[in-house]
Amino acid sequence: MGVLDGRTALVTGAGRGIGAAVAMGLAAEGATVMVSDAGVSVDGSGHDDGPAAQVRDAILDAGGTAHADATDITDFEATADLVTRAADTMGGLDVVVNAAGILRDSMLFKMSEGDWDTVVSVHLKGTFNLARHASEWWREHRGGQYRLITFTSMSGLQGAPSQPNYAAAKMGIVGLTFSCANALRNYGVRSNAIAPIAGTRMTQGIKGGGSMDYSPENARLAPENVVPPVVYLASEQSDWLNRRVIFAGNGRISLMSNPVVEREIVSASGTWDIPTAFAEMESSFKEAILWPNIFDKGLENRG
Ligand SMILES: NC(=O)c1ccc[n+]([C@@H]2O[C@H](COP(=O)([O-])OP(=O)(O)OC[C@H]3O[C@@H](n4cnc5c(N)ncnc54)[C@H](O)[C@@H]3O)[C@@H](O)[C@H]2O)c1
C-alpha cells in the first residue's frame, strides 16, 4: 500500500534530476505517472525522447505504472494535447507537477534578449501552459482532490545576481501559483510551489567557493531528498495546504513565509512630506533589515 494508491500524476521535467526523482517517488507510492520531458540540454537546446522513456522504464521495472511523453511545455497547443492525453491515458489527472527547467545565466548588463525570452518561456510560460490546460480539465471534472505543484527557486526568492531571467521567471511562478491557489480552490485544487535544492546537472556549474557541495557524492543534496514533501503535497492529506512555498533539500523541509506587511508607518493626514518620510522610514524600517540573504555571502557570482 502506498500513500498515493489510485492517484494519477503528470510530471514535467521528469526525465532527469529532481523531476525524475519525483516521478519515481510518486510511482513508488502507488501513483500512475505520466513521465514528461522534452530531453533538452541545460540551455534548452535540442530534443530527445530518451530521458522520459528511460524513467518510464525504470518505474515499470520497479513494478510501478508509468507512461512516457516528450512534449515541449513552451508550446501552448502541444501542452493542451499533453494534458488531455495524460488524463485519458491515466484515467484522471489528480496531480500536476511542473519541474521542467533550463538555465541561461549571465549578469543583467550582458544578457541577450534571446536568453531572457527563452528562460522566461520555459519556466513561466511553461508553468502557465500546464496550469491553464489542467485547470480547464479540473473545472470540467469537479469533485476531485487536485494538486498543482510548481517549482520556484531561492534564486528568485532571494535574487541571484547572475540569473535575472531565471529569478524573474521563478518569482513569476510564485505569483501564478498563488493566483491559481485562490482561483481554483473551489474546484478542489490546491496550489503550492517547491523551492528545491539538489545536486543535478543544473547545479553542476555553480562555483560556490566551497560553501555548497553540489557533487553527486553529497547525499544531502540527492534529488530524492526533495521528494517527500512533493509526495505529501500530491496526497489527499495536504488538503489544508494552499498558496505556500515549501523549501526542500539538503536535509530541510521549510515553510517559507508569504509576503506580509513587516513594518508600516501611517500618516494621519494621508500624505507624507519628503523629510518626514526620510526620517520615519529610516527609524522604522532600518532595524528590520537584519539578515543578509544567501547572495551576500558570495555563494553566487557566476557570469
Ligand atoms: N537543482 C536545484 O538545486 C534547483 C534549485 C532551484 C530550483 N530548481 C528547479 O527545479 C526544477 C528541476 O531542476 P533540475 O535541477 O532537476 O534540472 P535538470 O536539468 O536536471 O532537469 C530539468 C529537466 O527539464 C526538462 N526540460 C527543460 N525544458 C523543457 C521544456 N521546454 N519542455 C519539457 N521539458 C523540459 C529537461 O529536458 C530536463 O530533463 C527546475 O524547475 C529548476 O529550475 C532546481
Confidence of residue 89 (pLDDT cuts 50, 70, 90): very high
Testing ligand 1's pocket by substitution, the residue of 158, 200, 225, 302 carrying the most ligand atoms inside 8 A of its CB is 200
Give the pLDDT band of residue 217 (cuts 50, 70, 90): confident
Q: What does the pLDDT look like over 237-284, one tens digit per residue?
A: 999 999 999 999 999 999 999 999 999 999 999 999 999 999 999 999
Query: Which residue among 36, 121, 153, 235 is the active-site one?
Result: 153
Task: With respect to residue 275, please indicate whether it lies within any of the assigned structural domains.
Answer: no
In a domain, 279, yes or no: no
Residue 258 CA: distances (Å) to CA of 19, 132, 140, 152? 25, 23, 30, 13
Any domain includes 163: yes
CATH of the domain at 236: 3.40.50.720
Do the beta carbons of residue 184 and residue 141 sit within 8 Å? no
Q: Which residues pair with 124 in a beta bridge?
A: none
Q: What is the number of structural domains in the chain?
A: 1
3-state DSSP of 74-131:
CCHHHHHHHHHHHHHHHCCCCEEEECCCCCCCCCHHHCCHHHHHHHHHHHHHHHHHHH
112 within domain boundaries: yes
Distance from the alpha carbon of residue 55 to the mean position of ligand 1, in angstroms? 15
- On whether the CB atoms of residues 66 and 86 are closer than 8 A, the answer is no
Q: What separation in Å is there between the alpha carbon of 93 and the centre of ligand 1?
A: 22
Using an 8 Å Cβ cutoff, are 22 and 107 in contact? no
Active site residue 187: no
Q: For residues 17 and 19, what is the distance between their CA atoms, to the nearest angstrom?
A: 6
Q: Is the CB of 151 under 6 A from ligand 1?
A: yes
Rounded distance between C-alpha atoms, residue 272 and residue 99, angstroms: 45
Q: What is the 11 CA–ligand 1 centroid distance (Å)?
A: 11
CA distances from 157 to 111, 168, 258, 261 (A): 20, 9, 11, 17
Burial of 14 (C-beta count, 10 Å sphere; 0-12/13-18/19+): buried
Can you give the pTM of this predicted structure?
Answer: 0.96
- Is 283 part of a structural domain of the chain? no
Distance 13 CA to ligand 1 centre (A): 6
pLDDT digits (tens, 9 = 90+) for 283-302: 999 988 866 677 876 444 33
The pLDDT of residue 287 is 86
Q: Does a structural domain hold residue 292?
A: no
pLDDT at 297: 61
- Of the candidates 135, 170, 214, 235, the residue annotated as catalytic is 170
**Ligand 1 neighbour 38 (Cβ under 6 A):** yes
Q: Name beta bridge partners: 246.
A: 194, 255
**Whole-angstrom Cα distance, residue 214 to residue 208?**
9
Neighbours of 291 (CB within 10 A): 6
**Ligand 1 atom closest to the CA of 70, numbered from 1:** 33
Cell of 168: 524573474
Indicate whether 180 belongs to any domain. yes
Q: Is 294 exposed, middle or buried (0-12, 13-18, 19+ CB in 10 A)?
A: middle
Angstrom CA distances, 137 to 93, 100, 150, 154, 236, stand at: 8, 21, 17, 31, 18
Q: State residue 224's pLDDT score.
A: 97
Domain that holds residue 45: 8-259
Q: Which of 36, 155, 162, 166 is catalytic?
A: 166
Classify residue 42 as exposed, middle or buried by CB count within 10 Å of its CB (0-12, 13-18, 19+): middle
Specify if 124 maps to a domain: yes
Residue 92 CB–ligand 1 contact under 6 Å:
no
Give 203 Cα–ligand 1 centroid separation in angstroms. 10
